[in-house]
Amino acid sequence: MLRNPTLPNIATILDGGSYSLTSRANGYDCHHLFSKHFCKKHPEIVTKYGAPSVLIPTSVYKNTGSYGNSKSAQHYRRLEEQAFQQGGLHEVMKLAIFDLINAF
């Protein structure tokens, strides 16, 4: 569930695109919208370097569901896989977008 149903200030998203082409900046991290774990599990669909990504503040990045290896991050990865099994990449992207909004 979303903690805050309002949209984030998109001015804090500096760049986006495939991971390999997204720029970098101090104080920001390039966040995979499809987790690296998902990319490793499904390399025939999307690679870590080709995955859609956004450049967001590090403080926001640390709030995303897939950040790190905590129990909640592992739970997020299970949700991501369930979304894929139920509706394909479209559902994974929806999950990623809601997660990103929630991270703000």
Sheet with 15-18: strands ordered across: 15-18, 52-57, 28-32
Inter-residue contact 83 to 91 (CB < 8 Å): yes
* 10, two tokens: 């998109």
Residues pairing with 4 in the sheet: none
Which residue type occupies 5?
P
Identify the domain containing residue 36 by its residue range: 10-103
Question: pLDDT (tens digit, 9 = 90+) per residue, 43-98?
Answer: 999 999 999 999 999 999 999 999 999 999 999 999 999 999 999 999 999 999 99
Question: How many domains is the chain built from?
Answer: 1
Residue 71 lies in a domain: yes
Question: pLDDT (tens digit, 9 = 90+) per residue, 4-29?
Answer: 555 556 568 889 999 999 988 999 99
Residue 81 lies in a domain: yes
Which residue type occupies 1?
M
**Is residue 5 exposed (0-12), middle (13-18) or buried (19+ Cβ within 10 Å)?**
exposed
Residue 52 lies in a domain: yes
Q: What is the pTM of this model?
A: 0.83
Q: Reply yes or no on whether the pLDDT at 1 is more than 50.
A: no
pLDDT band at 42 (very low <50, low <70, confident <90, very high): very high
pLDDT the model gives residue 2: 44
Residue 5 lies in a domain: no
Residue 2 lies in a domain: no
**Is residue 95 exposed (0-12), middle (13-18) or buried (19+ Cβ within 10 Å)?**
buried
